[in-house]
């Protein structure tokens, strides 16, 4: 990319202008006053303190609409005319505005435009006596990388502030609008979109609303924080190494990475990572319930998404699956290179015991396949060396944020699966062959044990203090294999139950600090082979029920 001379040297001024523009877009009567801000809990536990109610900015109806319904339930009320889209959209816009002031979870908010859209949909329903589509009137939030006509997308690069607003929509945006959705905000991401901490020099750092001293995850961290705060009932992120699942587990919500190319990914902003040879990103939902995760997947895939995006697979959603009530559940063993933190290990063992008690067959895989999580991490890391560089950062003169600066240090010392000294084409060929061989090992493991579904940790850790999340071994493995994977929140960190610290000094992963993460959400990850997305969510639903 050519150097952007209009930005370089005065990046701070340009950022200040952008921040002021966004601040002015929040109506005055939706703003938290200084007196209220001075009463925020010192421990950063915003959700536990029920900040939206105590702020006084939301009416009882708005609190009810944002707290007590699934997306499916709201859609039913909208279709029957029991509530207007204008009322629902206003409620979520106001709650998103509160979330933004407390967590910096948004990059763009276009509330006036959303309210106009909601009024249009209400008028249509009144006039035509029918809904426009199955998502009629429902507000949906989107990660910043998705393009919305007339709205800017910077993906966290200061140099992209010079770019004009999008002239066209991303494919998924067109589809959601055709289905009747209301779009109202775009959400924050890390500089480069390749770290587990959603911070950049334009919009700042997204904070975790459960504990603002901890990361909200990345790269869809704004979505994770907004959904957790209930400023969005249904959000859409993208995932190439865990970018949907990491924010989900950090923020205590459900998140689903589908098989790549099932949900339209095309038309995102230039500069957003669109995959590297052999590893494709996937778009997918974050929500407060599995019902809403499945609602998103089934609704989008029943709308023939391949008509919107050339890369999307022509495979409709299959709802009528007959599955066994008792499962054979493979349990991915702890990789010695990435030991689980005590709360995560406790959550895993608690879930396994509960599932065994329900009669499910548990197969602990131990060291199968023989090349485990650490091998997959090194192989994926070699692929990512062909990902985006820091050219977009250098173009403005902005500095690296802390989590990106850490990527400049070697994350692994080897052994790497493919010789680092090979020429570029030989190396890519070697990576493809190594990936294929590794996928074959997993196929054999799956078949040998007659596994229905795999249970793994979402990460070796919970949400961590800022800039310490590190490398995501337990999520990136499923991007490498292109397996669908679902995050299910389960249990919490407790310094009373797990009082001993677990220091780690390898520069790749965080330490366990009981005081810092006390109360943080733990999570399970439910995994199935490629293109078994429907089974993955059905198994996740059954497991979620049987561990409670």
**240 assigned ligand-binding residue:** yes
**516 assigned ligand-binding residue:** no
Quick check: is 143 catalytic?
yes
Beta bridge pairs of residue 80: none
Tell me if 362 sits within 8 A of 332, measured CB to CB.
no
Q: Is 244 exposed, middle or buried (0-12, 13-18, 19+ CB in 10 A)?
A: buried
Quick check: is 219 catalytic?
yes
First and final CA of the chain: distance in angstroms?
A: 52
**193 assigned ligand-binding residue:** yes
**380 assigned ligand-binding residue:** no
Which is catalytic among the residues 145, 198, 243, 396?
243
Quick check: is 243 catalytic?
yes
Count CB neighbours of 165 within 10 A: 12
Full DSSP string of 116-154? HHHHHHHHHHHHHSS-SSTTTT-EEEEETTS--TTS---
Residue among 221, 193, 217, 170 nearest 393 (CA): 193
Which is catalytic among the residues 104, 141, 219, 248?
219
Which is catalytic among the residues 143, 406, 427, 492?
143
Residue among 22, 19, 296 nearest 158 (CA): 19
Residue among 526, 450, 72 nearest 258 (CA): 526
Strand, helix or coil for residue 529? coil
Q: Is 482 exposed, middle or buried (0-12, 13-18, 19+ CB in 10 A)?
A: buried
Tell me if 87 sits within 8 A of 135, measured CB to CB.
no
Task: Please list, in sequence order, all residues whose beta carbon lies within 8 angstroms of the beta carbon of residue 540, skipping any fewer than 6 positions away.
Answer: 290, 486, 488, 526
Binding-site residues from annotation for substrate: 193, 219, 240-243
- Residues labelled catalytic: 143, 219, 243
Residue list for the binding site: 193, 219, 240-243
């Amino acid at each position: 990319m050519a150097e952007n001379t209009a930005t370089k040297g005065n990046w701070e001024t340009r950022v200040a202008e952008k921040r002021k523009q966004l601040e002015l877009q929040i109506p005055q009567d939706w703003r938290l006053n200084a007196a209220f801000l001075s009463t925020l809990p010192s421990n950063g536990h915003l959700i536990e303190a029920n900040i939206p109610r105590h702020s006084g900015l939301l009416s009882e109806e708005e609190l009810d609409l944002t707290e007590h319904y699934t997306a499916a339930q709201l859609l039913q009320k909208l279709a029957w005319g029991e509530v207007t889209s204008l009322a629902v959209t206003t409620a979520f816009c106001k709650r998103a505005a509160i979330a933004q002031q407390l967590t910096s979870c948004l990059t763009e908010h276009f509330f006036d435009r959303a309210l106009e859209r909601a009024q249009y949909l209400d008028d249509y329903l009144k006039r035509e006596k029918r809904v426009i589509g199955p998502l009629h009137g429902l507000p949906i939030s989107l990660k910043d990388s998705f393009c919305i006509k007339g709205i800017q997308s910077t993906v966290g690069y200061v140099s992209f502030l010079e770019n004009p607003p999008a002239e066209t929509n991303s494919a998924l945006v067109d589809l959601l609008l055709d289905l009747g959705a209301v779009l109202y905000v775009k959400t924050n991401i890390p500089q480069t979109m390749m770290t587990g901490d959603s911070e950049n020099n334009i919009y700042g750092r997204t904070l975790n609303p459960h504990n603002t001293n901890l990361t909200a995850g990345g790269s869809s961290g704004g979505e994770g924080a907004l959904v957790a705060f209930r400023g969005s009932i249904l959000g859409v992120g993208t995932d190439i190494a865990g970018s949907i699942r990491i924010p989900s587990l950090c923020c205590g919500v459900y998140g689903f990475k589908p098989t790549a190319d099932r949900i339209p990914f095309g038309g995102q902003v230039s500069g957003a990572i669109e995959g590297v040879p052999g590893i494709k990103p996937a778009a997918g939902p974050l929500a407060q319930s599995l019902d809403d995760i499945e609602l998103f997947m089934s609704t989008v895939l029943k709308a023939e998404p391949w008509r919107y995006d050339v890369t999307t697979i022509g495979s409709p959603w299959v709802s009528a699956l007959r599955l066994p009530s008792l499962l054979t559940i493979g349990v991915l063993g702890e990789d010695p290179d990435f030991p689980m933190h005590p709360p995560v290990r406790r959550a895993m063992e608690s879930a396994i015991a509960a599932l065994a008690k329900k009669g499910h067959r548990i197969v602990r895989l131990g060291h199968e396949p023989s090349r485990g999580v650490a091998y997959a991490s090194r192989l994926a890391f070699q692929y990512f060396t062909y990902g985006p560089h820091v050219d977009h950062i250098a173009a403005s003169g902005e500095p690296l944020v802390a989590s990106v600066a850490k990527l400049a240090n070697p994350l692994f010392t080897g052994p790497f699966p493919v010789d680092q000294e090979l020429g570029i084409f030989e190396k890519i060929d070697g990576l493809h062959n190594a990936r294929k061989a590794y996928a074959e090992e997993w196929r054999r493991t799956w078949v040998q044990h007659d596994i229905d579904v795999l249970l793994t940790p979402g990460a070796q850790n919970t949400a961590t203090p800022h800039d310490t999340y590190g490398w995501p071994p337990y999520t990136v493995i499923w991007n490498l294999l292109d397996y669908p994977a679902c995050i299910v929140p389960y249990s919490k960190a407790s310094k009373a139950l797990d009082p001993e610290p677990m220091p780690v000094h390898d520069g790749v992963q965080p330490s366990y600090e009981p005081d810092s993460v006390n109360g943080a959400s733990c999570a399970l990850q439910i995994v199935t082979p490629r293109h078994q997305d429907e089974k993955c969510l059905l198994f996740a639903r059954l497991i979620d029920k049987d561990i409670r």
